[in-house]
């Protein structure tokens, strides 16, 4: 495996789309920083797979909804891999499905903090390092949204849907703000993909239930999901 000079941070990359993206990007020569919070075993497994194939990879535990931890993580990446050139804001949480009227404020706030503020914190620190006007060499940021941003997920996850709608708008504004500094900002809005997040929401087989709403009448497997992220 030939290592190039690109450094990629993927938040929430111990499993699911994040892990699949890390494995593909490593094959393409990126130096990888995996970020995780709770599932150290999965993150270490992904890291070890990359290292065993001749890639370069580190795994850092950090709560990316916490500004101080994000700043510390980026400083750690600087020391171990160099300044990042690519960022995938993948982290996201989903709570048990329920109607909005039954949700409490703490739940709604936690979803917004994790799914939106993490994108802000990580993007800000990445731009400081990528920006041409700050001595960087440009780069790319990919934000992970969801089809829920358009459907609204009524009676299930309107808090999650609202957070992903915010990600869409954040992407639009930020892309225009940093384009002249050599930074591309794009958003990928996956549809139904078989990942563990559905179990987190209380319905592990949810993708099978909603697959009939997709044009191809089926959901995607996570091994096919990272292609858009590595092409942005």
Catalytic residues: 160
Contact 208, 180 (CB under 8 A): no
Place of tokens 């990879």: 57
Contact 127, 63 (CB under 8 A): no
DSSP string, 124-162: HHHHHHH-GGGT---EEEEEE--THHHH--TTT-HHHHH
Chain CA centroid to CA 145, Å: 9
Beta-carbon contacts of 173 under 8 Å, excluding residues fewer than 6 positions away, are: none
Q: Of 5, 187, 216, which is closest to residue 89 (Cα–Cα)?
A: 187
Q: Answer positive or negative: Cα dihedral of 21, 187, 74, 86.
A: positive
Q: Of 228, 230, 126, 227, which is closest to residue 182 (Cα–Cα)?
A: 126
């Amino acid at each position: 495996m030939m290592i190039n000079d690109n450094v990629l941070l993927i938040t929430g990359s111990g499993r699911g789309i994040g892990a699949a993206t890390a494995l593909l990007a490593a094959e393409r020569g990126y130096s990888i920083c995996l970020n995780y919070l709770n599932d150290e075993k999965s993150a270490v497994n992904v890291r070890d797979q990359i290292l065993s194939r001749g890639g370069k990879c580190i795994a850092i535990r950090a709560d990316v909804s916490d500004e101080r931890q994000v700043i510390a993580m980026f400083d750690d990446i600087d020391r171990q891999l160099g300044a990042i050139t690519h960022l995938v804001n993948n982290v996201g949480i989903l709570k048990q499905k329920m109607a909005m009227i039954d949700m409490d404020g703490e739940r709604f706030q936690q979803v917004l903090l994790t799914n939106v503020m993490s994108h802000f914190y990580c993007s800000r620190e990445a731009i400081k390092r990528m920006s041409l006007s700050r001595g960087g060499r440009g780069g790319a940021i990919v934000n992970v949204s969801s089809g829920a941003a358009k459907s609204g997920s009524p009676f299930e996850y309107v808090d999650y849907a609202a957070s992903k709608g915010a990600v869409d708008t954040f992407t639009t504004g930020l892309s225009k703000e940093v384009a002249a500094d050599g930074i591309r900002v794009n958003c990928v809005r996956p549809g139904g993909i078989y990942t563990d997040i559905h179990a987190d929401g209380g319905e592990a087989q949810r993708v099978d239930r909603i697959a009939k709403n997709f044009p191809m009448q089926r959901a995607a497997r996570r091994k096919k999901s990272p292609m858009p992220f590595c092409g942005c």
